[in-house]
Amino acid sequence: MSISPDNDNTSEDAMVFIIIGKAYERDGDEDGIDIHVMLRAPDDDSAVREALNALAEEGFLEADLDQIGTLNEAPIDEPHASAYQGALEGEVAIIRFA
């Protein structure tokens, strides 16, 4: 008898996550920059932690992460297609929308 887990985060391979939010480069910056972060991680907690670390390394002081999800197939349009490929190769891709 095979039992399938109820939790979607039990995949043997790391999943490609996309995290959508807003990041802030300066104190008091009310507008912020809309961002998408794409990366591979074993679960959503790890994905959020890695995304926040990558944003801090890029000089962002703060981030409001609004949505998180997994990608089941490669995006077709740029810049997401390149970011997806980078995520598959172990990079944390940050897409900025000015």
Give domain status of residue 3, yes or no.
no
Element (DSSP H or E) covering residue 18: strand 15-24
| Regions in the chain scoring below 70 on pLDDT | 1-13
CATH number for the domain harbouring residue 66: 3.10.510
Give domain status of residue 1, yes or no.
Answer: no
The strands making up 33-41's β-sheet, listed across from edge to edge, are: 62-70, 15-24, 33-41, 93-97
> Following CA atoms 42, 47, 49, 52 in sequence, which dihedral angle do they give, to the nearest 10 degrees?
160
What pLDDT score does 29 carry? Answer: 74
Nearest to 48 by CA among 4, 2, 92, 98: 92
Within 10 angstroms of residue 64's Cβ, the number of other Cβ atoms is 10
Give me the number of domains the chain comprises. Answer: 1
75 belongs to a structural domain: yes
Domain enclosing residue 75, as ranges: 12-97
Q: How far is CA 24 from the centre of its chain?
A: 16
pLDDT of residue 50: 98
Q: Is residue 91 part of a domain?
A: yes
